[in-house]
Amino acid sequence: MIALSTAAQPQGTGSIPLTADQPQAAALPLAGLRGLIVGVANEHSIAWGCARQMQAQGARLVLSCLNEKARPHVAPLAEAIDAPLLSCDVSQPGQMEAMVRHALEHLGGLDFVVHAIAWAPADDLHGRVIDSSPEGFNQAMRISCHSFSELARLCEPALARQGGTLLTLSYLGAEGVVPHYGLMGPVKAALEALVRYMAVELGPQGVRVHALSPGPVPTRAASGLVAFDQLMAHASSSAPLRRLVTLDEIGACAAFLVGPGATGMTGQTIFVDAGVHALR
């Protein structure tokens, strides 16, 4: 059983009673939308925060995890929201193509894609940026940044049919130096620039592109950063809202961006970080 906070409930369903001839699905903001969510590792993943909010708001989803080793951690989550689970390592030739093909077969089309993956070799991540190896830097860029454009190219024909949204995940370290964020800073900066270029290239077809930039949340990827606990403690004490954000808040913001309320927006990096970005 998955516990959803009240933030998961669509606005208005508490106060406006539904009649028998108004099916509940019609009241949900994402009813009728189909999405592919890439990057679920476990119940702490931001991708999972997005998936459970989007499903609660009426979307039909396909989830993807890295490989067979990850599957046992993700399968119960996928089952709980009735979503098929695929696997895809974006660094392996052909795997993204297969994932998109299977997602389209399952869903019969695609209205949005969430790209919630990042990776860098530990040695390159933990050292100075100027000491990073060309191989490590390239791998981090390939997996954490360029894969978003590859995914966009593969999904373009489906998304362009009736308009759609591509969403990726960034972090404040793209805009300014965050201690210990290391080479992921330049990688996320490139990702945010990529979002703007993709928005211009895909906008004429009605495809919108955004980066969502959350404050720190304890996930497996985050645990790979040195002094991440200190980063969270500092964010929580200095944030205008004096706290960290939750997975539900990140997911709700992602759901808004792929939904009908955001159809006039594209090419943005949206912060959901309890206001920390305002301190820069």
Residues 250-268 as b or e (16 or more Cβ within 10 Å = b): bbbbbbbbbbeebeeebbb
Give the number of residues written for the chain: 280
* Residue closer to ligand NAD, measured from CB, 118 or 166: 118
Tell me whether residue 118 or residue 257 sits nearer to ligand NAD (CB atom).
Answer: 118
Q: Interface with ligand NAD includes 116 (CB under 6 A)?
A: yes
DSSP category for residue 45 = -
From 9-17, 26-34, 37-45, 51-59, span contacting ligand NAD (CB under 6 A):
37-45
Which CB atom, from 58 or from 168, has the smaller least distance to ligand NAD? Answer: 168
Query: Which range, of 36-44, 78-86, 98-106, 192-200, touches ligand NAD by CB under 6 A?
Result: 36-44
DSSP-assigned beta bridge partners for residue 268: 210
Site string for ligand NAD, 202-241 (x = CB under 6 A): ------------x-xx-xxxx-------------------
- Give me the catalytic one of 119, 171, 256, 271: 171
> 171 an active-site residue?
yes
- Measured between alpha carbons, how far is 159 from 154 in angstroms, rounded to an integer? 10
- C-beta of residue 169 within 8 angstroms of C-beta of residue 211: yes
CB 233 within 8 A of CB 184: no
51-110 residues near ligand NAD, rule: CB under 6 A: 66, 70, 88-91
Structure tokens at 23: 């099916």
Beta carbon of residue 137, minimum distance to ligand NAD (angstroms, whole number) = 15
User: What are 118's two structure tokens?
Assistant: 């990042």
Burial class (CB in 10 A: 0-12, 13-18, 19+), 77: buried
Residue with smaller CB distance to ligand NAD, 66 or 209 = 66
- Which residue among 63, 99, 118, 125 contacts ligand NAD (CB under 6 A)? 118
CA distances from 216 to 96, 236, 244, 271, 275 (A): 28, 9, 7, 11, 12
Which CB sits closer to ligand NAD, 229 or 260? Answer: 229
Tell me if residue 181 is catalytic.
yes
Q: Which amino acid is at 185?
A: G
The footprint of ligand NAD (CB under 6 A) covers 39-41, 45-47, 66, 70, 88-91, 116-119, 143, 169, 171, 214, 216-217, 219-222
